[in-house]
Each structure stands twice: as structure tokens, then as C-alpha cells.
Amino acid sequence: MHLLHLDSSARRDSISRRLGEEFRSTFVAAEPRAAVTYRDLCAPPIPPITEAWTRICDNLLRDQIADLDDLHRGARTAEEKVAWAVVAPLLAELVAADVVLLTAPMYNFGIPAALKAWIDQVTFPRMNLGHRRFVVVGAQGGSYAPGRPRAPMEHHLRYLSDFIFGHYSVPEPLTVVAELSNARVDPVLAQFKGAHEDSVAAALASVRSAAREVASLVEAR
């Protein structure tokens, strides 16, 4: 069993990183034989895709290549092979994983640029990620839950769920979020500091439960 753990917060000591570490430690405790690959997407940052990368996608579409083991065949010119050299180690980590843990704070109502760069590099037309289980752990400065006034502005966890579940043939991801983190520093939100602390405590309990659940599901497979 193999866990790929990806952090994307610009903060070294962040809520999303803390929740991710809690998931990871609980997962490994539940399945001590598990291998773990860790990547901090901010250090060093993943470069943005290039024009050569887009031509790799064109080649794959034109020749109807979608099998994970064959995607490298899309890189043909010298420039495309340079672009593939960036993709190859990132994609190899993803392909090797049974469980993928993505930790992501909300920045400007969406995901961090560091995570978006990784997604851009490793996803290709019609690829099938099959059995892999995804877990998405987020932190948000306010509350964007269904029914809240700002719910329509939630392009963060919803984007990740739609990206993973909607296009790449994997089971629906498990999602955990801690809310109202800005209450710690914003005087306007100070009245919600207790609600934030409760949200973090609930999120920690949820990631522990999710880690044990995913470990048992993957082991049963």
C-alpha cells in the first residue's frame, strides 16, 4: 500500500498541513506496512506547463493514447521531451500511489497556485486513475458551507472534488475542511474564534476517521 501526501500551503505551520499530518500518522498507524511518498508543492514549486506540454496533449488526443503506461509516447520533439522530464517524476509518484492525500488552503476562493501547477502537469486527456483513493483536506478563512451566504463563492473543495471525481474515473474523494481560520487574526471575525476552534477539532477527528476508513478499504481491495 502506498500513500502520496501532497502539501500546498504557503505557510510552514498551517492548518491544512496539520490536518494532513494527522491523516498521514493515523493512516500509517492503521497500516504500518504502507509506504509513504511526501512532496511539498511549494518547495521547490512545480513549474507551470509550457506550450510543449500542450503539444503532448495534442499528440495523445490525436493518437487516442490514454493508458498511464503509454502517456510518455506523447513526447516526441526535443521540446516536448524537455516538458516530459518535468512531468515524469510527478506522474510516477501518482501512478505508484494507492491513496493520494491533497492538503489545500483556500486562497482567493480557489486552490493554491502550487497545487494547480501539479494538477496541470500530471493530468492528461482521458487518463484513468482507476482504483486510487483521493482524500482532500482543506482550510478556509470563512465559512462556505451549503446554505451560507458565501457558498456560491466556493471554488476550492468543489473544484477538487469535480476535478477528481468528475473526470478521472476514481471513487468520490473523502473531503474534510476546517473553517473560519481568519477569526484568529481578523477583529471583524473575532466572535467566531470559538467556532473556528470547534471546526479544527472536528476536522482533526474527521481526518483520523477518514485515515482508518481508507486504510481498511485499500487493504480489502
Question: Is residue 106 part of an annotated ligand binding site?
Answer: yes
**CB within 8 Å of 7: residues ≥ 6 apart:** 16, 17, 20, 38, 39, 40, 41, 42, 103
Question: Is residue 165 part of an annotated ligand binding site?
Answer: no
Question: Is residue 14 part of an annotated ligand binding site?
Answer: yes
Question: Is residue 182 part of an annotated ligand binding site?
Answer: no
Question: Is residue 128 part of an annotated ligand binding site?
Answer: no
Question: Is residue 59 part of an annotated ligand binding site?
Answer: no
Question: Is residue 15 part of an annotated ligand binding site?
Answer: yes
All three cell numbers of 3: 500513500
| Binding-site sequence positions | 9, 14-16, 106-109
Binding-site annotation, residues for FMN: 9, 14-16, 106-109
